[in-house]
Each structure stands twice: as C-alpha cells, then as structure tokens.
Structure 1
C-alpha cells in the first residue's frame, strides 16, 4: 500500500513539471532539510553536478529555497499554489473549449440525423419496391392518406397479405376517388375485408405511415420521374403522424359500399326525407339538437353535397334507403 501511495504521489508531482530527480529532491528536503547540495547529492545517490541543476530548477519554480548553504523545502500549499491556480485557469479554458466543441458537435449531429432520417427514393421501380417493403415490414398498423392521381398500382398484393395476417389499415380517401366509375381503386374490396375507411373532401397530401415509425410520401410530378421520401425519425415523422390523425378525425366514416348506411343513418335519412326539422329529429332520437346537426352534416359530407335537398336527391339516386 505504501508503494502505491508513493507512486500516485510522484505521478501527481509530475503534472507540475518536475522530473524524477526533482521530485525525489523535493520530497527528500521535505522530510529532512539538507545542509548543502553535496549532502543532498549523497542522500539521492546522484552526481553533484546533476543535483545542482535540479536544485536550481526547484528554486526557480518556488519548490525550495536557499538559507545560506542549507536547502529548505517550501511548504507544499505554498509551493504548489501557483501551479494549481495556473491549472485551474487552464481547466477553465479547456472546459470553454469543450463546450464550443460540443455545440459544434450537436449542430453537426442534428444535420447528420436529419440526413439519415430522410431517404430519397427515385425511379418508378425503386419507389414501388420501397413501398412494398415497408408494407411487408409493418407489424401492427398502416395509416394512409390517398388522393388522385394514383401512380402506384391499385392492385396492392402486399396490403392483401398484411390484412390477412391481422395488420390494421386505416385510410382516408379524397372524395373524388369514390366517384370514379368501376371502382378502379378496389375500395369496395378493401372495405369488405376490414380496412377502416373514411372520406374527406380534400386530402392535403399522399402519405402512408407504418407502425408510426416510418412515413412514405410520394412525390409526383408530370415533368420528372416518380420519387418518394421515406422518413424514419425526428420531428418531421411526428408532424406527419399528427397530419394523418387530424385528417382522420375530420373525415366521414365510409361504409362497405357507397349505398350502404347503418341503421341509425338510415333512420336519420328517413326523417330528413319526411321533412322533419333537426329539433324534431332530436326528440325522436333522444339526442341534443347539436348532436343531430352534427350527424346531418356527416351525411351531407358523405354524399358530397351541401344542402338537405341535395342530400335527398343523392340518397334517391344511389339507393341509400
């Protein structure tokens, strides 16, 4: 234990710029003052000339002092005080420098993270392959916003496989997509097989989000080849999740086929056709006036119309009752 203590102590003295001989000389004088340099030389077992050089350096640095021919060690707190102050100042400068480096590191890391979080996919085949891969990798839920034009094939085999394995699909379709004759987007199949579907008059962007952890944003233009962004982390991914949930909350539930309404919607529509006012309907349903108004608005939005009369005509045309 004593050897270890000495080793640690000597290593600490090294940090103040003393070499081995100077350390030994200072410690020897600290324990027992020497009558002169020859006495110190004999005690250390080193040549007098070498010890004389070490003594001169120790005197210059304030570790020992001369009292006539005698050599005396300066008490440690005084001897090491100036060095400690210098090192304290150096440490403060080092800390300031480290803080500057950390700021630069954080800035560069943020840029690097942003670059790594956004993948750009270019080319029709590449976009299709990346889209299919993300669907196959989904484990719980796929959320999507859809609007025309649809460039990726509507025959989405990956979705069929995913839904068959229990993956939940929640989708908001722009109103124009359900009005296209012949159901080219196979919405009836999707609804019949469990896709949770809603309709919105306007969908802000095309978007698919997989398990809330990766977003796929198609970038379509008539003048350039198909491309897409894949976002896997960061603030942008959170914003896209928020965009989907906001659009979803404001969209109208879409039934399995366009001409199918639930029992309550059918009853509500029947009363509207019969000429009942919202207040009269609220008494029939036992609901508040505002709730009835909201449900009537949902029906008109689902039909893509604005007035009750237009709703009646739409219901008759599409056999809603």
Structure 2
C-alpha cells in the first residue's frame, strides 16, 4: 500500500510495526520482523532519513501518518491537478479538431465492383456478434454470400428485413430458404427505405441503389450518422413481419402460407408464390383458418400471435 510513497515491503512492515508499538531499539524491531539485524538497521536508517521514523530517546517511534505522508500527498495532488488541467486543454483541442475533421475519416467511399465486393466480404468476416441488414431490389452482389455463411457458422446472428417485392419473385432466387434453415432471423416489410448492413453496431455499409452505374458504397464507422442508421434499422425491424412462421406443428408449406397471409398477400399473390391455382390457395387458406378454430383471416392472425405461430 505504501509503495506509492517509495517504501518497499520491508520498509512498510517496519513502519507499520513501529506505528502500532514503538521499539526499544533496532534489535527488538529485528526480532519482531524476524529479519537479520543488519538488514533491519539499514531499513531504519532509510526511514529515519526520509522522516518516516524518529528517535525518541532510546526508542524508535513511527512519525504520525499525516506528517510522514502528508507533504507527499500534497505534492501528488498538485501534480494531478496540473495533469487534469493539461488533459482538459487537450480535450478542448481534440473537440475543435474533431469538428473540423474531414468527413472522410468517418465516411469511406468505396468505388468499383471488386473493391465494393471485397469491403463487403471483409466487414462480414470481421463481425463477431450481430449483422443487421435491410435488403431490397435490385440485388447487385452475388447471392452466393460465402462470407455470410462463414459468419453464421461461427455464431454471428443475422437479423434481416427483406422488402416484400423480394419474395414476390417465383422460386427462391435469393436463397431465403437456406438462410432461414441456417438460423437467419428474417422479417418482411412492405417498404424498405435503403439497402443497409450494420456490423456489431460499429460500422455500417450502404451500397449504391442502382444497378445501372458503377458499383459504389459508403462505409460509416462512427458519429451521428452511424447512430441514425442503427435507429433506421431497428425502426424498420420493429414494424416488419416475421418470416417464415416458426410453429413446429405447422408443415413447412403452411408456415410459408401463414407468413404470406400475415404479410398481407392476397390469395392471387400467394398462388403465384406457390405455383398453384387461385382456387387451390383459397381452399388451403380456408383449411388453415379451420385448423386454428377461427372464422376469418384477421382472427387467424390474432390466433397465430397468441399461440406463438409467428
């Protein structure tokens, strides 16, 4: 504890021993500390020299703690105040420079297909906990996202909101079935305002919205803009519909059918998704409503929410 004042362990033990009980001499102190007399004699000489111990007749007495350590504490306090003042000056300079800092330090512009793809893959590989995505057409990058597959295999959680138009396409060109089967948390929104990926809430990737111009993207790594993008994702996510439905008692086709109903699809739109006739879809919807023990689509949605079918 007293090392901060320059005392080693033996010197500290000698001072504390004398503070609790003065000694009649160095030999008594040596016996008390169970150390050689020569070693204790040298320690006492240093303590007396530095003002921690004094001779009172033939006795060794520890100086009062406030006398022994007070001056050093005052010096330290003065040093700390000077350092605090210096740090405050540095912080003021830092804030001024931050306000004038070129925005390119926090917003990186990436141009070119190869460069954008490399940056996109690198950010996914660097994620450790969570990747948040807003996805809408057109899809500029390859659907074979090996970096996402590797990240998900390593335990990174993907929360993804797809614009409704993405699942209007017959078949599964964007491999949504694979993503759902491998743990991607998926939701559907009628409208997604922008393409966006956020990695561990520390970096955001905003690709170009056009497939007709040279690929480009912004990488935002700090500041208010990153906070706004996190807010945009969470707002869209909160208003989106879970997809597909996850209740194990439903068949995969019924899970998908329920998800489309909740997403607001008409029977005609659902028939295009399933490749079935309009009449067949109407019959399957009616069967699903009956299996839930309700009478209308709205009641089906409430039943699905109440019984954790979402």
TM-score between both structures, scaled by the size of structure 2: 0.53
> SS where residue 254 of structure 2 aligns?
coil
CA contact 1:171–1:197 (8 Å) conserved in 2: yes
> SS where residue 215 of structure 1 aligns?
strand
Aligned-partner Cα distance in 1 for 2:176–2:270: 22
Aligned-partner Cα distance in 2 for 1:153–1:311: 27
Q: Partner of 2:183 in structure 1?
A: 194
Q: Partner of 2:217 in structure 1?
A: 228
2:138 to 116, 138, 149: 149
Aligned-partner Cα distance in 2 for 1:231–1:107: 21
Matches within 5 A, 1:108-147: 108-112=97-101, 114-147=103-136
**Which residues of structure 1 form unaligned runs of 5+?**
1-98, 267-297
Give the direction of change, closer, same or farther, for the CA distance of 1:255–1:318 in structure 2 (3 Å limit): farther
Give the direction of change, closer, same or farther, for the CA distance of 1:147–1:223 in structure 2 (3 Å limit): closer
Aligned-partner Cα distance in 2 for 1:102–1:163: 40
> SS where residue 261 of structure 1 aligns?
helix
> SS where residue 212 of structure 1 aligns?
coil
Residues 1:238 and 2:227 are matched in the alignment: yes
> SS where residue 240 of structure 1 aligns?
helix
Matches within 5 A, 1:1-321: 106-112=95-101, 114-222=103-211, 224-255=213-244, 259-261=253-255, 300-305=261-266, 316=281, 319=284, 321=288
**Which residues of structure 2 form unaligned runs of 5+?**
1-88, 246-250, 272-277, 289-310
Shift of 1:303: 3.7
Aligned-partner Cα distance in 1 for 2:209–2:238: 26
Aligned-partner Cα distance in 1 for 2:239–2:280: 22
CA contact 2:138–2:211 (8 Å) conserved in 1: no
Compare CA radii of gyration and give the structure with the larger one: 1
Aligned-partner Cα distance in 2 for 1:139–1:227: 25
Shift of 1:186: 0.3
Aligned-partner Cα distance in 2 for 1:253–1:224: 33
TM-score between both structures, scaled by the size of structure 1: 0.51
Shift of 1:165: 1.0
- Shift >4 Å, 4+ stretches: 101-105, 298-301, 308-315, 317-320
